[in-house]
Amino acid sequence: GEDVEQSLFLSVREGDSSVINCTYTDSSSTYLYWYKQEPGAGLQLLTYIFSNMDMKQDQRLTVLLNKKDKHLSLRIADTQTGDSAIYFCAETDYNNNDMRFGAGTRLTVKP
Amino acid sequence: GAVVSQHPSWVICKSGTSVKIECRSLDFQATTMFWYRQFPKQSLMLMATSNEGSKATYEQGVEKDKFLINHASLTLSTLTVTSAHPEDSSFYICSADSGRGYEQFFGPGTRLTVL
């Protein structure tokens, strides 16, 4: 099957930038997403990018997409303790029929 | 923005009983809703796709007789875990298709614990 992979853990100091990486295998991926999950809560959509884009910026968040290498990253500038959570990368095909998730990256922000 | 609610947010039940989880789209109509299951420290796994007025489509390996899905209206889908066992204990999350083609809205999740 098609896979989405992420590193499981990332630890940064408050004020630093965080970069969470994701790789996927489905060449027909059309939409790529980043979700945030805080403890005990459901997923919150942070941002998404269409496969015909290579960058999207939204306040402190920057998404970079390298379609050739099937690599997606999420950069959080000026990381705060409130950013501590699990971040999931996900992708769907054109029909949005099946959203495939990575295992999630646990971001820990130290004061 | 679009809001999806789930009820209950957590439930504890005895082994062998059935549990119903509701997923509602509060301010939009959702022709399609999705049910996910999340095991501890793992990602979401799609269980089934629920379409209003028709039978749900289950993912491979998901027992349709155990996880009954009913999408009776454009704002409500229910998941019933029948004859629950401890291995069914998990975090169940639903999402609703906004109809805009690229976005799903997630409910807050229901934590099921089977004793």
Q: Which residue has the tokens 């109509």?
A: B29
Q: What is the mean pLDDT of residues B35-56?
A: 82
Cβ <8 Å between B106 and A97? no
Which of B10, B26, B31, B43 to substitute to test the interface with A, most A CBs within 10 Å?
B43
Bridge partners for B5 per DSSP: B24
Cβ <8 Å between B111 and A44? no
- In this structure, the number of other CB atoms found within 10 A of the CB of residue A90 comes to 24
Average pLDDT for chain B = 88
pLDDT bracket for residue B22 (50, 70, 90): very high
Task: Give the strand pairing for B44-51 and B110-114.
Answer: unpaired
pLDDT at B114 over 90: yes
pLDDT the model gives residue A96:
53
Q: What is the mean pLDDT of residues A16-30?
A: 90
CA distance B18 to chain A (A): 23
CA distance B89 to chain A (A): 14
Q: How far apart are CA A82 and CA B16, in angstroms?
A: 40
pLDDT the model gives residue A1:
52
CA distances from B111 to A65, A86, A87, B13, B20 (A): 34, 17, 20, 11, 12
Q: What is the mean pLDDT of residues B74-92?
A: 94
pLDDT the model gives residue A29:
75
pLDDT at A17 over 80: yes
Average pLDDT for chain A = 88
